[in-house]
Amino acid sequence: MKLAISACLAGAVLVAGATHAAGASGATSTKISGSTALALAGVIAPLSPLLSGAEKKAVAMLFAANADIPYKKPIVVTADRIVCRTSNVDITLRNCEVSFGKKVKTVNGSTANEIFATEALAGIPSDGAAGSNFESLTKLSCTIDPNAIRQKDGSGADCTFQPGN
């Protein structure tokens, strides 16, 4: 019980740390930084057709707590739209659709669960209907700077996105 309460409080602190700013279209953008931003970039980067193999490997190594990587340039992880779904009726259902322009990648199972959980950690509100739970975001843009992360001062990972849609 203590562990569940601690995890809930930690999530609340992280969500409270997210900042909101009005975008040009009037929609609300959210900015996250630090470990949560690295986690969000870390679960999306492997799916991206926009990143090179070296960039995907660098993000994976950073996300696996290895800051000593040969890659030096900032890496930008983007996705146009992410929609994840779980169910409290069909408890085996876990899937996410991640859109990169016209390319859509669908993932299921543990990969979808990882994205769903990371979205929740980043403060994406869950919505539900008829036994389904949804989380979605648009306009994801994460900048991962390996040189800043090497400093181990909490910097080097920043993301912006719009919740919902």
Measured distance CA(51)–CA(48) in Å, rounded: 6
Interval 20-77: pLDDT, tens: 343 344 468 999 999 999 999 999 999 999 999 999 999 999 999 988 888 999 999 9
Give the single-character DSSP code of 14.
Answer: H
Provide the strand spans (E) within the chain.
Answer: 19-22, 28-33, 75-87, 94-100, 103-108, 127-129, 132-144, 157-163
CA distances from 69 to 59, 63, 72, 140, 154 (A): 10, 11, 8, 24, 17
Interval 111-151: pLDDT, tens: 999 999 999 999 998 887 778 899 999 999 999 999 999 99
Amino acid occupying residue 109:
G
| pTM of the entire predicted model | 0.82
Pairing of strands 127-129, 103-108: unpaired
**End-to-end alpha carbon distance in the chain:** 34
Amino acid occupying residue 119:
E
Angle, helices 109-121/35-44, rounded to nearest 10 degrees: 150
Measured distance CA(126)–CA(84) in Å, rounded: 10
